[in-house]
């Protein structure tokens, strides 16, 4: 997959079959759009591409917004590449860009800069200042400016449309099963293993503390069954998100216990896939109660079919 920043394209590059959006999560709805892009690109001798923005536009419109994302930019690149996308165009969402009207966006960006011949948008996509651009505008301008446009219907899950917001809501409630089904893959976090308070090793459950990107959405505080990938090896694990209230903790940490594992992995990069929710964060009366619950969690995790 070719990655271009701020429309660094030349006249010799192929015309595009393009979609626009944040594609946060690269969920099943996004995957349907990518499949259509790749198909159209193959049929019309174009290249498939997505135009996305960094930082998230909500951070520009409201700098105090504490929005957490389903993907870091590196995770998004990996997921889009894995789905077969040929081009990812990253555009800084700055003041000048946000003030383009819908018509200006179509003429200056879609046609003049990106040379789009086929545009695919999601069922509810709008663009341009004050959301002045929509499917109707594209249908009107397309024939005149030489591009075709189509709108992709939403992908449903249960009784609602799959969206990045619905997935964030599921994760915030600890509903890992629903989040994973909407994503079409297992939600994950990754980061470097850093030093913690090392309390776990004193009770027979040594944990690896993970330094997670501060823009990454963490699921609800609690305990989870997870896949753990470290040093190119897979392990079953139990992950805790929270403040460790039993031992008087106050700062949120992400800690994972790897079953049947006893190696020094400080400073190693570690990746964790969420598989199921074990229970809410609990403040136990003493360490004995904590150990008893950890033993129960370990038994459930051991029996879990990965």
| Residue 94 pLDDT | 81
142 and 254 both lie in a single domain: no
Q: Are residues 227 and 120 in the same domain?
A: no
Residue 114 in any domain: the answer is yes
Domain boundary among 161, 194, 209: 161
Question: What is the CATH number for 261?
Answer: 2.40.30.30
Q: What pLDDT score was predicted for residue 247?
A: 83
Residue 174 lies in a domain: no
The answer on 216 and 127 residing in a single domain is no
Q: Among 126, 161, 196, where does a domain finish?
A: 161
Residue 168 confidence (pLDDT): 97
Domain end (from 113, 145, 161): 161
Residue at 65 is within a domain? yes
Q: Does 107 map to a domain?
A: yes
87-92 sheet: strands from edge to edge: 2-5, 87-92, 47-54, 16-20, 116-122, 148-152
pLDDT at 270 (0 to 100): 97
Predicted confidence at residue 115, as pLDDT, reads 93
Q: What is the pLDDT at residue 65?
A: 84
24 and 128 part of one domain? yes
Q: Is residue 179 part of a domain?
A: no
Residue 220: per-residue pLDDT: 97
Burial of 21 (C-beta count, 10 Å sphere; 0-12/13-18/19+): middle
Q: Is residue 63 part of a domain?
A: yes
CB 40 within 8 A of CB 118: yes
Residue 190 sits in the same domain as residue 146: no
Whether residue 143 sits in one domain with residue 191: no
* 284 belongs to a structural domain: yes
Block residue for tokens 């989040």:
179
Whichever domain contains 9, its CATH number is 3.40.50.620
Assess whether 198 and 75 both reside in one domain. Answer: no
Residues 121, 209 within the same domain:
no
Same domain as 197, residue 156:
no
**137 & 202 share domain:** no
Same-domain pairing of 40 and 118: yes
- Note the pLDDT of residue 10: 61
State the total domains in the chain. 2
Mean pLDDT, 10 residues at a time, the chain of 306 residues: 80 88 96 97 96 83 87 95 95 86 94 95 90 94 96 94 97 98 98 88 92 96 97 95 87 95 92 98 93 96 92
Would residue 216 count as lying in a domain? Answer: yes
pTM of the model: 0.93
Give the structural domain span for 231: 186-303
Note whether 112 and 230 are same-domain residues: no
């Amino acid at each position: 997959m070719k990655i271009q920043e701020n429309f660094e394209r030349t006249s010799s590059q192929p015309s595009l079959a393009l979609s626009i959006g944040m594609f946060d999560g690269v969920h099943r709805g996004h995957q349907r759009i990518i499949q259509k892009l790749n198909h159209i690109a193959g049929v019309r001798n174009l290249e498939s591409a997505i135009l996305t923005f960094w930082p998230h536009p909500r951070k520009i419109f409201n700098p105090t917004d504490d929005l957490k994302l389903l993907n870091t930019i590196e995770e998004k690149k990996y997921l889009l590449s894995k789905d077969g996308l040929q081009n990812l165009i990253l555009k800084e969402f700055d003041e000048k860009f946000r003030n383009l009207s819908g018509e200006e966006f179509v003429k200056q960006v879609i046609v003049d800069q990106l040379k789009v011949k086929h545009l695919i948008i999601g069922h509810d996509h709008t663009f341009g200042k004050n959301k002045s651009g929509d499917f109707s505008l594209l249908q009107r301008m397309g024939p005149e400016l030489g591009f075709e446009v189509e709108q992709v219907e939403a992908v449903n899950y249960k009784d609602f449309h799959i969206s990045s917001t619905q997935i964030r809501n599921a994760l915030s409630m600890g509903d890992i099963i629903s989040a994973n089904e909407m994503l079409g893959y297992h939600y994950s976090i990754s980061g470097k293993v850093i030093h913690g308070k090392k309390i776990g090793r004193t009770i027979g459950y040594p944990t690896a503390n993970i330094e997670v990107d501060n823009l990454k959405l963490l699921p609800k505080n609690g305990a989870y069954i997870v896949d753990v990938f470290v040093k190119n090896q897979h392990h079953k694990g139990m992950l805790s998100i929270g403040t460790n209230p039993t031992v008087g903790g106050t700062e949120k940490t992400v800690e994972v216990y790897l079953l049947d594992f006893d190696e020094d992995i400080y400073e190693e990069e570690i990746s964790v896939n969420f598989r199921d929710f074990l229970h809410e964060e609990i403040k136990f009366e003493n360490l004995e109660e904590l150990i008893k619950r950890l033993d129960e969690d370990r038994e459930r995790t051991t029996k879990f079919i990965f």
